[in-house]
């Protein structure tokens, strides 16, 4: 299986298809690069599509350490360097967004041309002035409850998580395929990563980023209030938003054709 070795010795799995300028697609929490299976083929007719499995997910290694957003950003940098990529478009979905934000904060736009941010709020926890966080994991108690579910019954958690991320039904074989991908991520990796991810607040960073960006907003998401992702487009200087009216959290599955066309138009611009 194709992989690169990160600076701490962890194997990071990746897959690629197509030729031309690189587009790296970064999946969300508990998922894998194969969640983009409806999108890779059409998009790869225009650019070189590379999907990576974050550490602790999919076919990447599952070490006992490193489940922090900053470490995932370093893994991304290691991938860019190992494959000697430049002029890259980064696409992050959900958790993939803060991985990109952390990369930009730590390393600037090294090797990166532009970015696409798919359905992520800049802050998951609620506060007196911020109500656009996560629907369930919006405070420390919510995080603790979520972690307990991971260890007590991961199979049922995954079924509920997948169903809650979709607005439209999908075929049973596709559902089973996606659940099998989720099952590859052990509870300790998911728990530790969410504990780090969910406490970050990126609102101070985003207005300082000059990178050309596209923000995709899912109007029917019940995981994240769509106005949270919309906030990103409003506060990043060179960002614009595209709204998906019939999509929940996995808008690349709910509105596959529109997602593919939107990404293709952006990377060809």
Each residue's pLDDT tens digit, 254-268: 999 999 999 999 999
pLDDT of residue 157 exceeding 90: yes
Mean pLDDT of 174-188: 98
**Residues 196, 190 contacting (CB under 8 angstroms):** no
Tell me the pLDDT tens digit for each residue of 55-87. Answer: 999 999 999 999 999 999 999 999 999 999 999
Q: How far apart are CA 44 and CA 41, in angstroms?
A: 5
Angle ∠(104,260,265) on CA atoms, nearest 5: 70
**Residues 22, 50 contacting (CB under 8 angstroms):** yes
Confidence of residue 34 (pLDDT cuts 50, 70, 90): very high
Mean pLDDT of the chain: 97
Rounded (10°) CA dihedral 115, 119, 124, 129: 90
Tell me the pLDDT tens digit for each residue of 117-129. Answer: 999 999 999 999 9
Across 38-57, b (16+ Cβ under 10 Å) vs e yields bbbebbbebbbbbbbbbbbb
pLDDT of residue 269 exceeding 90: no
Q: What is the pLDDT of residue 236?
A: 98
pTM: 0.98
Tell me the pLDDT tens digit for each residue of 192-214. Answer: 999 999 999 999 999 999 999 99
pLDDT of residue 1 exceeding 90: no
């Amino acid at each position: 299986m194709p992989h690169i070795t990160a600076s701490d010795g962890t194997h990071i799995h990746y897959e690629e298809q197509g030729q031309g300028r690189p587009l790296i697609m970064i999946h969300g929490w508990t998922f894998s690069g194969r969640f983009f299976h409806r999108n890779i083929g059409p998009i790869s007719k225009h650019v070189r599509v590379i999907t990576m499995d974050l550490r602790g997910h999919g076919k990447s290694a599952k070490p006992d350490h490193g489940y922090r957003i900053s470490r995932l950003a370093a893994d991304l940098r290691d991938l860019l360097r190992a494959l000697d990529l430049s002029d890259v478009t980064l696409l992050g979905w959900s958790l993939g967004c803060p991985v990109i934000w952390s990369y930009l904060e730590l390393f600037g736009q090294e090797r990166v041309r532009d970015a696409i941010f798919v359905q992520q709020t800049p802050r998951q926890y609620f506060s007196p002035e911020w109500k656009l966080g996560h629907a369930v994991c919006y405070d420390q108690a919510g995080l603790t409850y979520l972690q307990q579910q991971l260890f007590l019954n991961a199979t049922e958690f995954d079924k509920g998580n997948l169903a809650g991320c979709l607005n439209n039904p999908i075929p049973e074989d596709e559902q089973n395929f996606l659940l099998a991908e989720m099952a590859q991520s052990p509870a300790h990796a998911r728990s530790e990563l969410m504990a780090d991810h969910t406490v970050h607040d990126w609102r101070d960073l985003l207005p300082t980023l000059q990178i050309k960006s596209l923000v995709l907003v899912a109007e029917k998401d019940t995981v994240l209030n769509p106005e949270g992702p919309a906030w990103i487009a409003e506060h990043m200087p060179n960002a614009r938003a595209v709204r998906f009216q019939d999509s929940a959290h996995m808008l690349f599955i709910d509105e596959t054709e529109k997602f593919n066309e939107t990404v293709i138009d952006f990377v060809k611009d």
